Amino acid sequence: MGRNTHQSKPGDRLTRLVLAIALLTLSPSVFAYLDPSTGSMVVSAIVGIFASIALAMKTYWYKIKKMFRRPDQTPAPPDAKTAHDSSSED
């Protein structure tokens, strides 16, 4: 019922790293056709993702802004008496 306390040895990590690198570098060649419009399709998908993120941020901007604001930074309403006194001194 105890937990498995088996820890990997440093040699195991090195072996896994070498195996991963070998599998990634020794892959066979792939013969596939990508037509010229594939690049523009990928670019338009990336632009669409960024536009969706920007629209979501714009939609929830005040909620996001409120999350990062400290509680003591609430803006104080302007005092009408102070504004009136300062304008009459001119």
| 21, 28 Cβ separation under 8 angstroms | no
Token pair 């060649």: residue:
29
Tell me, what's the pLDDT at 5? Answer: 55
| Stated pTM of the model | 0.40
Tell me, what's the pLDDT at 46? Answer: 97
Return the sign of the alpha-carbon dihedral for residues 58, 59, 63, 64: negative
Tell me, what's the pLDDT at 74? Answer: 61
Q: Where are the domains of the chain?
A: 40-70
Which residues does the chain have with pLDDT short of 70? 1-10, 72-77, 79-90
